[in-house]
Amino acid sequence: MPLLSFDRAAIDRSGFATLADFITSLPQNVKSGNNSPDGVLSGAQFGLDNIENSTAANLRGLGSSSTLTLLNGHRVAPSAFGSGVDLSMIPLEAVERVDVLTDGSSAVYGSDAVGGVINVILRKDFNGQSITARLDTLARGGGELKQFSQTVGRTWDAGGALAVFQFDDANAIRADQRSFTENLPQPTDIYPSSKRYSGVLSAHQSIAPSLEVFGDALLEHDAGQRNYTSGFVKPHAQLITNHTDSTSADLGARWQPFGDWHLEGNGLYSQVESHVTESFTPPLKGYTTARPICAPLQPLRKATSSWTAPSGQPAVRA
């Protein structure tokens, strides 16, 4: 099978600030569909098909639900409203390598791997600490990104541990800041604003010459908002606000009795929970302002996606 592998040096040379930006830049990935945060003008409901502002991989253009994204070889819960794993929740400083399987692998992984597989490998033997700060600006205004990350790693004879914290603060891009959208009703954002806190902890320890235990944990909180103006006869300013919390933990053991043969088992818990509110100015009849998104005169609804399943086994999405 065709396999592309990008090591830490290649990731650093790319100059991208986030894992999402790096993956979406690959020619094998198609930047479209319901899991692209800049898709405000595409799709139904004025782009509300991605109200979480998530960015998922879309290999071969078959849709984010057909690309399987793994972290250290195990599954991660997808977005609550979307259909793919949000790449933005994994700090780029924690990544050692990205493997991209560009051919369909549904026979091995299931139907969510029809387009291919992306496996994000975390740093394993990083010894030391690093602090990075970054400021990205755009010549035509808007979209300013402020980023800070702290990485601490330690290795010893029989194992190692890594901890990474990253903070991202991105400003919105308003429609009047771009010539191709300046005639849209104001206020309208063509790219959302967001503040994201994410952390990764990874460790491994050999307890015998042929037996190793390992684990990793991922925590992320994202708060974002986007302005719209809906309706051209009687415009209503809309403010979409989202809060997303992601949690993932994996613990396992690997036994290698002889040669290249090994037996591995692990348990995984992964959950993504999102809460989205919608406010109108002036108030819109039939809608409740600043409450979870609802349809006119219908009960309020909330979207939550979670699973608890062993690695490599089918997971149930609720």
pLDDT at 49: 55
Residue 305 has pLDDT above 60, yes or no: no
- Bridge partners (DSSP) of residue 173 are 191
DSSP states along the chain: --EEEEEHHHHHHH--SSHHHHHHTSTTB---STT-TT-TTSSSGGGGGGTT------BTTS-GGGEEEEETTEE----SSSSS--GGGS-GGGEEEEEEE-S--HHHH-GGGSSEEEEEEEPSS--EEEEEEEEE--TTS---EEEEEEEEEEEETTEEEEEEEEEEEE--EEGGGSTTTTTS-SS-EEE-EEEEEEEEEEEEEEEETTEEEEEEEEEEEEEEEEEEEE-SSS-EEEEEEEEEEEEEEEEEEEEEEETTEEEEEEEEEEEEEEEEEEEEES--TT--TTEE---TTS-----EEEEE--TTS-----
Amino acid at 270: S
pLDDT at 140 over 60: yes
Q: Is the pLDDT score of 46 beyond 90?
A: no
Query: With 80 as the cut, is the pLDDT of residue 267 above it?
Result: yes
CA dist 153 → 25, 107, 126, 150, 216 (Å)? 29, 37, 5, 10, 13
Give the domain ranges of the chain.
3-308
Q: Give the bridge partners for 77, in sequence order.
A: none
Query: Class assignment of domain 3-308?
Result: mainly beta
As to burial, measured by CB atoms within 10 angstroms (0-12 exposed, 13-18 middle, 19+ buried), residue 295 is exposed
In the chain, what percentage of residues exceed pLDDT 70? Answer: 80
293, pLDDT greater than 90: no
Backbone angles phi, psi at 7, to 5 degrees: -85, 180
Name the residue among 90, 54, 55 with its Cα closest to residue 70.
90
Predicted confidence at residue 231, as pLDDT, reads 62
Task: Name the most confidently modeled range: 55-69, 215-229, 266-280, 299-313.
Answer: 215-229
pLDDT at 300: 33
Q: Which pLDDT value is given to residue 239?
A: 81
Those residues with Cβ within 8 angstroms of residue 48's Cβ, 6 or more apart along the chain or in another chain: 240
The share of the chain scoring above pLDDT 90, in percent, equals 39
Residue 97: is its pLDDT beyond 90? yes
Q: Please determine, for residue 59, whether its predicted confidence score (pLDDT) is greater than 80.
A: yes
Q: What does the pLDDT average to over 32-54?
A: 51
Of the spans 101-105, 107-111, 155-159, which averages the highest pLDDT? Answer: 155-159
What is the arithmetic mean of pLDDT over 174-178? 92
> pLDDT grade, residue 270 (50/70/90)?
very high
Query: Could you tell me whether strands 189-191 and 193-208 are parallel, antiparallel, or unpaired per DSSP bridges?
Result: unpaired
How confident is the model over 141-145, as a mean pLDDT?
91
Q: What is the pLDDT of residue 287?
A: 60
Q: Does the pLDDT value for residue 120 go beyond 90?
A: yes
Q: Taking 70 as the threshold, does the pLDDT of residue 301 lie above it?
A: no
pLDDT at 106 over 90: no
Q: Give Rg (Cα) of the chain.
A: 21
- Residue 63: pLDDT band (50, 70, 90) is confident
At 61 the pLDDT is: 83
Neighbours of 231 (CB within 10 A): 12
pLDDT at 149 over 80: yes
The rounded distance, in Å, linking the Cα atoms of 204 and 189 is 44
**Which one has a higher pLDDT value, 52 or 273?**
273
Q: What integer pLDDT is reported at residue 307 of this predicted model?
A: 34
Neighbours of 223 (CB within 10 A): 15
